[in-house]
Structure 1
Amino acid sequence: MNELEIRHWVGSNASSLMPETNFTPEELDHIAMCIEHLYRWYSEGYPIGDFLTAVAQNNFSEACFRADDTNRKALYLYALFLANKVPLWNRKAKEKEIVGAKDVQPILVLCRNVFDFAEHGDYSNGVEAYGMDEGVVRSGEILDKYREELEKYERE
């Protein structure tokens, strides 16, 4: 689903299934953005924050505690979206630890440093014995996957 489809889905379901809630256009935009992040987490491994992590993990009480006023009113929409639009979301949430946005940047900086050291530094003296070769390969893979996030983090 793209951003426009998600926005349409949110507006349509909010008005038909929750007419008494009367979401403002700004609230609908916020909900659509969060749902887009959930969809990207599922399809791309996009990092999500604490509230959306609780939603993805089907942890109702944690989601309630983490939700702002808008998201608290929209919990039903989040559950409906995951149940109907994202196949096997619950399995993914259980199988993989969810990486939050606040966790990604330090990990990426570390990966870049390990990868750069291996490419340009002194990569000798029994590195294989300590499993560093595997760590360097994995660091490169993580960097490739999240390079855009790292560049954004370093610009800020």
Structure 2
Amino acid sequence: MAATTGQRLSAFLPDPEATAAFGKRLARCLEAGVVVYLEGPLGAGKTTLVRALLSDRGYRGRVKSPTYTLVETYPGVVHLDLYRLADPEELEWLGVRDYLDGETIVLAEWAEKGRGVLPPPDLVVRLTPEGEGRRVTVTAAGPKGEPILRCLAQI
């Protein structure tokens, strides 16, 4: 399903179901305190991936995109969507540093808008439209990302 080269894994996801399946795989590989940047254009499937990830971690409630709220919290996970952020300092008002506790998994969309406040990623997950589906490329961006990438390659 996936090709691994060095510190990167790539796979084609033909439909939303495949994206959800990948999100569940990712959920099984994440450790507490990891920071994951979710990249890709609007509509690429980032929220689909997050919904599946949370479902696999046992969350049964409604999962909505944080496009307007900027922050949605779940047990052990915070999902940020910084698309509408005007200034990285707004993250301070939202209390983002409280989630950077080494225990909470941080999933950040449009993370570049939080530069200077958000820590660098451990893992970058990029979804890119490709034909009728999308390509997921996962890059280990730090030492915590390397075991996650190895885990993804094995399951």
TM-score range, shorter chain: under 0.3
Higher RCO structure (Cα 8 Å, ≥6 apart) = 2
Q: What TM-score does the superposition give when structure 1 sets the normalisation length?
A: 0.28
Q: Which has the larger radius of gyration?
A: 1
- Going by fraction, where is strand more abundant, 1 or 2? 2
Q: What TM-score does the superposition give when structure 2 sets the normalisation length?
A: 0.28
